A = this chain, B = another copy of it.
């Protein structure tokens, strides 16, 4: 255990902050969580600095650098958070320099989804692959593009919004202001969408079994019903997978990247949707891609955020 050169990775969320001391192999040495109460940027900076200090005390020495994963639109190059859905009052917050002045070591800042992607690409399921696309399936779909070991940011930190690949031009309205975005068809709210699209008889049978309205169908309920042998529930999982695969096909065709790491709570039901996803992806790409396409299940779980932030931190030194 090379404590002498550990870094600290911080994963900032809207309600909790997690920080971990990480050694030069990416191993977590010690980890702490703290609630995020006051959401002002000065309070968050103080909370980050406090966690860094606690981890340093735990380990008994100072980190060589700190990395922070932050939800929202982050200018990683300049360490500025343009805006964050979890911290609505923030605007153009120079968070990196503020943290740096408190902790006294170099600080890296990156979007949290990009931290997950970087961790999975370098030390998780995508390890050993040159280019990796990460999709995190939750209420929406988070994403990150890691090319040649580096997060791709596009023009100003907006890259990787893979949940907004347009899969149905006149489809379901989306929170982004558009319609037919992938995350309406292949994230947790998608089950209600697919239930509504079932033929009437199938939908009636599903509803009778579930005892709930189509709009209340969750992944958990769909999983339970499918376990009970409900064929309509299996159709919902198939549709979920099919759309995921269509989105992946578009990513393959645009990027020429074949390694996809898929994370998020819904991957508990991996076997329910992954075959449909792979079949759809292959049916919408050139046949010669079939041998290369890899859909991999994320391996780092909740540690991906702090590990990705730690990778960015280590690159500063």
Contact = CB atoms under 8 A, between A and B. Distances in A.
A165 B130 contact: no
A162 B251 CA distance: 9
Contact of A169 (B154, B168, B251): B168
This chain's copy number in the assembly: 2
Contact of A255 (B130, B159, B168, B284): B159
A153 interface: yes
Interface in A130-165: 130-131, 143, 145, 147, 152-165
Contact of A256 (B157, B243, B246): B157
Nearest to A259: B155
Nearest to A158: B256
A246 B152 contact: no
Given A176-B285, A178-B284, A285-B178, A154 B250 contact: no
Interface stretch (A20-28, A30-38, A286-294, A302-310): A286-294
Contacts of A166: 167, 246, 249-250, 253, 284
A219 to B, nearest CB: 21
A217 to B, nearest CB: 21
A39 interface: no
Contacts of A147: 152
A177 B256 contact: no
A317 interface: no
A286 B82 CA distance: 14
Contacts of A178: 249, 283-285
A197 B180 CA distance: 20
A254 interface: yes
Contact of A286 (B177, B180, B253, B289): B177
A68 interface: no
B131 A155 contact: yes
A289 B255 contact: no
Nearest to A130: B155
Interface in A171-188: 176-181
A231 to B, nearest CB: 21
Given A176-B286, A178-B249, A179-B284, A256 B165 contact: no
10 contacts: A161-B254, A161-B286, A164-B249, A165-B253, A167-B169, A168-B169, A169-B243, A176-B285, A177-B287, A254-B254
